[in-house]
Amino acid sequence: MQSSSKYTFRPVKVKKTGGFATLVLVAGAIWGGIVFGVDQNGGWNAVLNLASNVTPSTSVSPTQTTPNPGPVTANGDPINYPFGTIQLSVTRSNGKISKVGLIQASASAGRDQAFPSLEQAAISANGTNFGNMSGATYTTDTFKQALNSAISKLP
């Protein structure tokens, strides 16, 4: 019996059912607590992902933040994920998040070749930067809440 650690993969099954292949893998493994995702052009998605690494704060809102005339940049802590390290920076100017950047990203190339190719693809895919994130339609309030928790990390 394999460990039930969320970073431990169970073998990938590729089933043929009714003429179409169904790929089954353990989502827990690729969720893995990975907190990253970068839009180098300051998109909110990266902010939201950064947000997932800090305690949500409801006491700070963008409008309550004292506007700062000059840009202020905060670097997140380097985050280790099972296959590398990532670190994000967030810049605020005039009270708004103006830029989110990736200042460090590494992925250990070439996982053990014994892993099945599908699993390899899923792991690799999760270690890739991206421009947008698709998810269930969030409300404006949820969006602000997620943004606030990222902003609360700024000095």
Partner 1 sequence: MHEFNHLEECMGTVFQFSGLSEIDEAEFLESATNTLHKADAIFSLYKPESPLSRLARGETSVSQCPGVVEQVWELCESWAKKTDGWFSAFTPEHTFDPSGLVKTWAAQAAVEKLLEAGITDFTLNAGGDILISDGQSREEFWRVAISKPVSIADAEAGVLTVLDLSGTEFRAVATSGSAERGQHIWNPKSNENQQDFTQVSVIARDIVEADVWATAAFAEGIRSLERINNQAHLEALYVMADGSLQATDGVLALLAKATR
Residue 119 in contact with partner 1, rule: CB under 8 A: no
The CB-of-97 to partner 1 minimum distance in angstroms stands at 10
- In the window 27-66, what residues touch partner 1 (CB under 8 A)? 27-28, 30-31, 33-45, 48-49, 51-52, 55-56
Residue 102: count of CB within 10 angstroms of its CB: 16
Task: List all residues 6 or more positions away from 76 whose beta carbon is below 8 Å from its beta carbon.
Answer: 50, 53, 87, 88, 89, 90, 153
CA atoms within 13 A of residue 17's CA, in its CB half-sphere: 6
Residue 89 in contact with partner 1, rule: CB under 8 A: no
Residue 24 in contact with partner 1, rule: CB under 8 A: yes
The CB-of-120 to partner 1 minimum distance in angstroms stands at 9
Task: List all residues 6 or more positions away from 101 whose beta carbon is below 8 Å from its beta carbon.
Answer: 38, 40, 88, 89, 91
Candidates 86, 88, 90, 146; binder of partner 1 (CB under 8 A) is 146
68 vs 130, beta carbon nearer partner 1: 130
20 vs 155, beta carbon nearer partner 1: 20
From residue 107, alpha-carbon distances to 42, 104, 127 in Å are: 22, 10, 7
- Total number of residues binding partner 1 (CB under 8 A)? 59
